[in-house]
Chains A and B, each alone.
Chain A
């Protein structure tokens, strides 16, 4: 039955995927923050978070030089510390070429935001052309934004169609679908939008909280709503979708809280960069600072880490 109204469409979808209680979800995630992760477990968590980081710069003032420096940091996060590389660098489409050259054969992926990031407010063919351009320049991963207007209007078919067209334009590149949770406003909507996106995606693609360009980005609560949706979808269909919280995760401690949420909700199979990413910039230096503290027993001055967070 076609939707008679946006309300009917939303009501039907909510009935299908189930609702989320705000008080309950916030109570649940508060428990993750009381977990105490020490010693070896802490080092494992910090290194894992580091290996999941999509080191990001999305600024009008980005230059090829800045991207080169970002790539070096991505490959060699800190002198004298044995760490994995980060998962990917995440840049604007015009910077993909430079990033591709910068990461070389290091194994660090190049992710590009596309589809008129962050608003998505341009013609579909323009958005698709942007995706094709980024892929042609060598992007391994595409971070797209959903059509929030279509979603809020209850036009889910349009939202799905657009995601599938972007998916087609991606070719072999991994797709991450940004829901922009702050514009969806309710946890119910975040859950609904997660299911719509997952219904289109391939195994190994991601759903992602936000662009980092609005006031409210990744929180433990909206992360929880999305990973519970991923879990339910996986148990129903067998299709494993990845998750990427982005924006607002600045400290190592926060990232451990997110990983604890993953451990206790999705389980061990999601505790790797193929299925979980952090979209972050300043997080990396705090992870390094904590790892150095574990190694040396003392906190190092902020300036001893390259590209101190403010510059990202």
Chain B
């Protein structure tokens, strides 16, 4: 099982060879990158007071894309002051008017969708088909959705009055840079808050490009301020005294550090952290579609998804069939140039993340699980990892407990429904889960017993702006999207 070639055995095996190899099909839209990105404070692009910059690279080539400003504490302070100055008039503006700005942002983003998709793919490594068909359209959808709420806030919480909190500090991760920005900005603005936001240091470009859109939309200066940098900048954003609320999406480890940092203050918090989701396949599930769901669950965005279905729990009686079909399926996943329209798995976001994935995969092998990797050829340069799966995994393996955040699936088996629930819930996390069965009643039972913020039934990794998203346990608290997400940016009386 560890040697891929044995699975390509002739005779009864299927041949996924190069009889019909596709020519390169790169997306050619101009991402219109600047050589250097300044900070966006008070409606203008300003050089950082720190005087420092860092490079952002293309993880698929390791080539430099642009210089990004490194915001120091003084820069973050400026951003907060600008936001605080903007807050009284922004929050007093009629919701209908705030909605107009959000509609404008959404439409401008749609107008420049291809440009943003290419920029996102260059900076983050995700395949163009995902940035084009998922990230950018979903980001626009979030602005549209919340634009619709802005003049209807009196209906968000019937019987109660809602009011904005003030200035909110937001820190977002590198896996869906533009989309996470939309998840954070749109509800905050719709509710009448002002924002200081920091994108992840490896993926700042689309956030800074969005600032161009904010300018074009004539959003009042200071309503949104974006500061770039790494952990120190993030800590300054989270800890600033003017922040009425902080919202963080990222690793559980950093989330805990932030909570320690702001303990004792009266800041409100929402945390969307890691996950180790169970994707549960029952023996009556439509197997081929379940296999497709498993692929969507773990290989979407190279597995850089907090809600990825990284633990596959499959009922023993169908385990062999599911695993055989899965191996066959991942052979035809195309790994390579993220800009190629046919690429299914792009580049791992950073050298550090690649090292993390390799380390955890090595631990899986060391602890005795059987590794199968797609025999695909990886590019010479850049950070790539083949689609991988482990069989013979038990609950005590590290690869069954820790978030790998890469294209690596750990496969466990179960016999009864109770055992499936027990194994699924036996984790520190609780962000999402998947259930595959033909039996509707079983779906309902599972969805009440699984301790996860989202339970997908016969599908996986489906999102909608109107559907709240968030976790249980160490996956965080608070919700994003829907009415619930909006309320996390409001005080209610």
Contacts and interface: CB of A to CB of B under 8 A. Distances in A.
Interface of A: 18-21, 23-25, 27-28, 34-42, 44-45, 48, 228, 231, 234-235, 238, 259, 263-264, 266-269, 271
B287 A23 contact: no
A40 B286 CA distance: 37
A179 B23 CA distance: 36
A259 B286 contact: no
A230 to B, nearest CB: 11
Contacts of A238: 11-12
A267 B20 CA distance: 10
Q: Which of B288, B296, B342, B458 has the most CB of A within 10 A?
A: B288
A266 B14 contact: yes
A267 B25 contact: no
Interface in B156-214: none
A24 B292 contact: yes
Given A24-B458, A238-B12, A19 B20 contact: no
Nearest to B16: A267
A38 B287 contact: no
A35 B12 contact: no
Nearest to A28: B292
Contacts of B19: 263, 268, 271
A20 B289 contact: yes
B289 A268 contact: no
For the complex of A and B, list the 5 residue pairs with the smallest distance between their C-beta atoms, beginning with the closest.
A24-B289, A36-B25, A267-B14, A268-B19, A21-B286
B15 A19 contact: no
| Interface size class, chain B | 20 to 34
B342 A20 contact: no
Contact of B438 (A19, A36, A42): A19
B51 interface: no
A295 to B, nearest CB: 16
B1 interface: no
Contacts of A37: 22-23, 25
B484 interface: no
Nearest to B458: A21
A40 B23 contact: yes
Contacts of A23: 289, 458-459
Contacts of B324: 235
Contacts of A40: 23
A48 B25 contact: no
A36 B438 CA distance: 34
B17 A267 contact: yes
A171 B288 CA distance: 36
A27 B25 contact: no
Nearest to B329: A264
Contact of B20 (A34, A39, A259, A266): A259
A25 B341 CA distance: 22
Given A24-B289, A27-B292, A35-B342, A268 B17 contact: yes
Contacts of B15: 267-269
Nearest to B19: A268
B255 to A, nearest CB: 32
Contact of B341 (A27, A36, A41): A36
B22 A20 contact: no
Contacts of B458: 21, 23-24
A35 B115 CA distance: 20
A18 B14 CA distance: 21
Nearest to B341: A36
B444 interface: no
A48 B19 CA distance: 11
A24 B23 contact: no
Interface string B1-44: 00000000001101111011111110000000000000000000
